[in-house]
Each structure stands twice: as C-alpha cells, then as structure tokens.
Amino acid sequence: MKKRIAAVLLSLLTLFSASCGVLEMREADPEPLPVTDRLLEQARKPAEAEAGEQLPGLQLYTLPEEEAVEPVVTFAFAGDILIDTFIITDAARKAGEGQNYSFLRTFSGVYRNLEVADVTVGFDSSATHPKGDSDPTHRTPREALETLSAAGYDVLNTLAWQDEKGLIADCGMEGISTASGGTNAFSAEIKGVNVSVLAVGGEALPIGSDAANARIGEEAENSDFLVVMADWTPGMTSGEQCAAAYYMAEAGADVIVGTGNSVGSVDWLERLDGGKTLVAYSLGNLLSTATSYENLTGGIFTFTADLRSGVVSVRDVTLTPTFTHMEAGRREVQVFPLSSYRDELAGEHYIRGLTTDALRSYIRSVVPAVCLPNEYRD
C-alpha cells in the first residue's frame, strides 16, 4: 500500500512540474486509498470546493456519474394455503393471552424463504373471513393474514374466493382473485420496473379462452414484466395445461405459475418471437392437513427478472420444496423447508412410515434438478 501511495504521489508531482494542467482521477481500487498527503486530500475533493486552495497548474476533474441501469426484481411464489378446522383448532391452542389464534409457529419455518424477495405472492384457497364465520371448514382468519403479511407476503391470490370484507388490504397486502367482479391483477412500479401479476381461470377468465388471452396481452402491453397465475380448470390433463401455457406465453406472459394439490414440473417454453417463458405448473400446498405426503408437499418458487440489457431475462430460478408437519390428531401443524425436515420429526408425523429420503426422492422425480437447491442435486 505504501508503494501504491508513493507511485500516485510521484505521478502527481510529475504532472505538476510539467504544468500539464489536467489530472483525471480514476477509481482503480474499490477500497479508497488512505489520505496521507495534502495533495492527495485535495485531489479527492470536488474542484469547486477547493478552487481557492488549488496549486497552480493543477486542474481537478471529477468522474461523471455512472449511467443508470435497469434494475432487477426478485420474486417468490408460494404454494396453496388450505386452512381447515384442524388448522384453526391448532392455531387456537397456540394462542397467547388476548389472542384468538396464533399462526407464528405455523409459518415460522419458511419466513426466511418468503421475506427476501421484492415481490412475494401466494395462493389461498380458504375464504378470508373474520372470527365466527358460519362455515369454519375453509376460512382464513385475520390472525393468519397478519402472520402472512409479517412473513413478507405482498399479494394473496384467493382464487375463486372474493375478499368481500377487505381483510387482505387491512393486513397490508394486495388481494387478487379469479372471482367474477373481483380484482384480477396487481400492478406496481418496483425499483423502476412496471410489474404485473394477473390471475386467470374460473368463470371470469377461463383458461385458454380468448378473453383470458386478450387480458394477458393487455397486461403485457402495459407492463415491463408480467407473471400469470393460472388456476387450471379441474380435470385438465398435463398435456392440456401445457398447450394452454403456450397460448398464454404467446399472449405475453413472461412467467406462468399454476395451481395444483401437488408440486408439478418446471419448464421453459420457446415463443415465436425467440424469447422464452418460464412455467411452474403447480406449487402444490404450502399448508394443508391432507392425508397423503404428495398433498403435504409444496414449493416456494423464486426467480429474478433482469431488464438491464433492455430485454426481459429470467434467471436464478429455484423451487425450494416445503413440507407440512402434523402429529396425531392433526395437531402441531407447521410448515418446514424440506431440507431442514428430519427423520425424528417424520417419525412423529400423522402419516406413519414417512422418511425424509422418500420425500426428497419424490421431489427429485417431479422437478428438474437444475431448478432445485444444490442439496437436492446429488
């Protein structure tokens, strides 16, 4: 470092003695050089601030500001939430003084996976009702919504349900749905990028219909980056889903994320314009009390939208598997990243005979290895 400082001093003094009159400062090292000399100290200050102190023949220029580049936006999409009487009862048992329910432990295992993205979106098949609704079998109380908001959720897709009571907005999230008369899309400018998330399916915008594809085209025209959340029509085969995804890709979707009770494959679709659309056909269930391990497995799907080159590119694609733990009587319900789930817990599961090796093998058989975290690729 002393030699570097001496070299800089020698260069500056040579310029001064020759009265060249121009010194262009360049940041050659990411760490600033220590200021040990008045001449170096003077060179680091703006020329206008040092006008009265400049030495004869030494003219200081500041570097121009770097040109602004298009930023990148990170996304996280989580599997479906199906809150039923077992989960409600379990949350009531976990409630503290003055609480009706507590969902903190229910979701705490996946907080880190959800909160890191710029935009976090999830599915919720349960209606959003306050405490005391007449149909307790499928309802998401305020306490659950507050927990999801604290976990980092920005948008909640309630599929065919409509949030008539406005609880989602009250809890600091945006609500979208496929319900007739509901809000189908979320749009926002995030880090300088116009982002849209559009829900299609159901009666309002049936999958594969001209109305749905036209709406996709409109959203694509008005945004820099469009994610379509597809609520597949019941009974659709994987081939029919793939064909519908191609139409949505051609209509303008940059990414497609579908629904389903179990995790589906991840694929890239090549469009006629030469671009590619990323598709996650199903993220399974993030939270449920189903009686098969396939329906207790979900995925948190993360990716980055990079617009710095002037065109959309999607990178850093990862599907992180999750698993819902529950014990006898479907109690102690909690979501874990599958990578942190252990055989000791699996041995206590409501479904007998589970092993983490079997769960991991199942995920590897469905999702391409390149889209899984490193620990699943061996």
Q: Residue 141 pLDDT > 50, yes or no?
A: yes
For residues 36 and 261, give the distance between their C-alpha atoms in angstroms, rounded to a whole number. Answer: 66
The pLDDT mean for the chain works out to 84
For β-strands 60-61 and 23-24, DSSP reports them as parallel
- Most distant CA pair in the chain, distance: 90
Percent pLDDT > 70 in the chain is: 79
Query: What is the pLDDT at residue 126?
Result: 87
Instruction: Report residue 9's pLDDT band, with 50, 70 and 90 as the boundaries.
Output: very low
Q: Residue 59 pLDDT > 50, yes or no?
A: no
Q: Residue 208 pLDDT > 60, yes or no?
A: yes
Q: Residue 243 pLDDT > 60, yes or no?
A: yes
- Length of the chain counted residue by residue: 378
Can you point out the beta strands (E) in 11-102?
Answer: 23-24, 60-61, 72-81
Q: In what helix (H) or strand (E) does residue 185 lie, and over which residues does it extend?
A: strand 185-190
Ordered alpha helix ranges (H), the chain: 2-17, 38-43, 85-93, 104-107, 111-115, 142-150, 167-170, 210-221, 238-251, 293-296, 343-346, 356-366
Q: Residue 172 pLDDT > 70, yes or no?
A: yes
Q: Read off the pLDDT of each residue in 193-207 and give the average, rounded to a whole number.
A: 94
Instruction: Report residue 138's pLDDT band, with 50, 70 and 90 as the boundaries.
Output: low
Q: Return the sign of the alpha-carbon dihedral for residues 142, 145, 150, 154.
A: negative
pLDDT in tens, 302-340: 999 998 877 889 999 999 999 999 999 999 999 999 999
Question: What is the set of domains in the chain, with CATH numbers?
Answer: 2-61 (no CATH), 72-376 (3.60.21.10)
Query: What is the pLDDT at residue 129?
Result: 57
For residues 121 and 77, give the distance between their C-alpha atoms in angstroms, rounded to a whole number. Answer: 5
Instruction: Report residue 2's pLDDT band, with 50, 70 and 90 as the boundaries.
Output: very low
Query: Is there a contact between 374 and 332 (Cβ–Cβ < 8 Å)?
Result: no
> How many angstroms from the chain centroid is the CA of residue 270?
23
Query: Is there a contact between 250 and 272 (Cβ–Cβ < 8 Å)?
Result: yes
- Structure tokens that stand for 75 in this block: 């996304």
Q: Residue 14 pLDDT > 50, yes or no?
A: no
Q: Residue 25 pLDDT > 70, yes or no?
A: no
Q: Return the sign of the alpha-carbon dihedral for residues 368, 369, 374, 377.
A: positive
User: What are the φ/ψ torsions at residue 109 (nearest 5 degrees)?
Assistant: -65, -25
Q: Looking at per-residue confidence, does 372 or 130 come out higher?
A: 372
Cβ atoms < 10 Å from Cβ of 55: 11
Query: What is the pLDDT at residue 139?
Result: 81
Q: Which of 59-63, 219-223, 231-235 has the lowest mean pLDDT?
A: 59-63
CA distances (Å), origin 154, targets 151, 173, 231: 9, 5, 19
Percent pLDDT > 90 in the chain is: 69
Instruction: Report residue 48's pLDDT band, with 50, 70 and 90 as the boundaries.
Output: very low
Q: Residue 259 pLDDT > 80, yes or no?
A: yes
Query: Is there a contact between 225 and 305 (Cβ–Cβ < 8 Å)?
Result: yes
Q: What residues does 331 pair with on adjacent strands?
A: 327
Query: What is the pLDDT at residue 161?
Result: 86
Q: Looking at per-residue confidence, does 358 or 69 come out higher?
A: 358
Query: What is the pLDDT at residue 16?
Result: 40
Query: What is the pLDDT at residue 339?
Result: 95
Query: What is the pLDDT at residue 283?
Result: 98
For residues 252 and 277, give the distance between their C-alpha atoms in angstroms, rounded to a whole number. Answer: 9
Q: Residue 17 pLDDT > 80, yes or no?
A: no
Q: Which of 1-5, 52-56, 118-122 has the lowest mean pLDDT?
A: 1-5
360, amino acid identity = R
For residues 163 and 179, give the distance between their C-alpha atoms in angstroms, rounded to a whole number. Answer: 10
Q: Residue 39 pLDDT > 60, yes or no?
A: no
Query: What is the pLDDT at residue 13?
Result: 40
